[in-house]
Amino acid sequence: MAQLTDVYFVDGVRTPFGRAGDSGMYANTRADDLVVKALIGLMERNGGVPKDRIDDVAIAATSQTGDQGLTLGRSAAMLAGLPETVPGLAIDRMCAGAMTAVSTMGASIGAGMYDLAIAGGVEHMGHHPIGANADPNPRFVAERLVDPQALNMGVTAERLHDRFPQLTKERADRFGMLSQQKVQAAYDEGRIQPDLVPVAISDADGAFGLAAEDEGRRPQTTMADLAGLKTPFRPHGRVTAGTSSPLTDGATISLLAGGAAVKEHGLAPKMRMVSFAYAGVQPEVMGIGPIPSTEKALAKAGLDIADIGLFELNEAFAVQVLSFLDHFGIDDEDPRVNAWGGAIALGHPLAASGVRLMIQLAAQFALRPDVRYGMTAMCVGLGQGGTVIWENPHYTGKKAKRK
């Protein structure tokens, strides 16, 4: 008989993220091959998990067409060598696709319906630019349900600057610069590389190579560099390429398990799921979405924002993260927030990013036994937010030794 159980994030890996476009490292790589490579890497790292015991595979993509179509969860599972008895599905919640894959599979485990599940996401923005194949219903505009420019994420970021004058361009520039610096520092310390699955690639001439690191990093970025950038979303605006996540290709994948499966297979979970929540806001200011979703998730967990010791917030735009921090009274440079940098430097392959946040939080948990709870949160296109709260299994209550 099925029983309620705890839900654990056992492990997560990802491909290196590449710049989208003809000059990006994945220009000649299929989207489904990216997620297949990540899935193979995940199963190799967790060889004690019987492949035929996986109950489901949920893979998210925002543009579910071409090499991101054909029910990705099922097709990726088959291509990665999982038994044909393992089912799969595709999920779309735009930027929060992989996060939704995790929460959906996690809920199925928590309810006792599944024991083991795989959840992740992929986005090849070079092959599938955001909204390229979309046909928004004309009622959105005709009935004034949504401002047409709400479908342009950069415009929604400019509107956050309008709504909150204290969120200045200088603050956003500094946040963007520090993200680049923090990512490079994490690379220098070897923090990011252990969870990357190298991908064999080829260029337009057929020459082979290996994608082993994130391609879009700019660690030498300065405030002077950022001050001179163009504002593509509005003349004399405040949002620039330096304070926005770049267009990115990449895939992420994670292994989830219930309490009985953890014991049966001798697994060592990296996190325990405490709560999750999604919320809707005005599409015109979609960046504030994580605020109500976080309030809901905290309430469900019986926690306060002060209980959260580590935050992994998706940096779709610097101003979006800053609006979240201001709402909860958190300083722009609070060391709990995106300690190893974020999407402004690493990239944001839309539906894949949620699990990237989880991978980084899990790695930090292992180094921080003094932190009990952490959070992954992100804004979502069309006016949504998503938040998952996690507990650190390494928590001791004792201060960690810091270098």
Q: State the catalytic residue, choosing from 127, 236, 379, 394.
A: 379
Please indicate whether residue 379 is annotated as part of the active site.
yes
Please indicate whether residue 127 is annotated as part of the active site.
no
For residue 363, give the nearest of 122, 123, 218, 196 by alpha carbon: 196
Helix (H) or strand (E) holding 120, with range, is: strand 116-124
Whether the CB-CB separation of 373 and 308 falls below 8 Å is answered with: yes
Structure tokens at 82: 């999982």
Structure tokens at 266: 């001798």
Cβ-proximal residues to 181 (8 Å cutoff; 6+ apart), any chain: 219, 221, 341
The amino acid at residue 137 is N
CA distance 403 to 400: 10
The owner of tokens 């002077």 is 224
Q: How far is CA 104 from CA 12, 275, 372, in A?
A: 16, 12, 24
- End-to-end CA gap in the chain: 49
Structure tokens at 156: 């929604």
CA distance 261 to 257: 6
CA distance 357 to 99: 9
Q: State the catalytic residue, choosing from 95, 124, 127, 128.
A: 95
Please indicate whether residue 161 is annotated as part of the active site.
no
Q: State the catalytic residue, choosing from 124, 128, 161, 348.
A: 348
CA distance 54 to 280: 32
CA distance 398 to 382: 42
Whether the CB-CB separation of 359 and 252 falls below 8 Å is answered with: yes
Structure tokens at 194: 């252990």
* Active centre residues (catalytic): 95, 348, 379
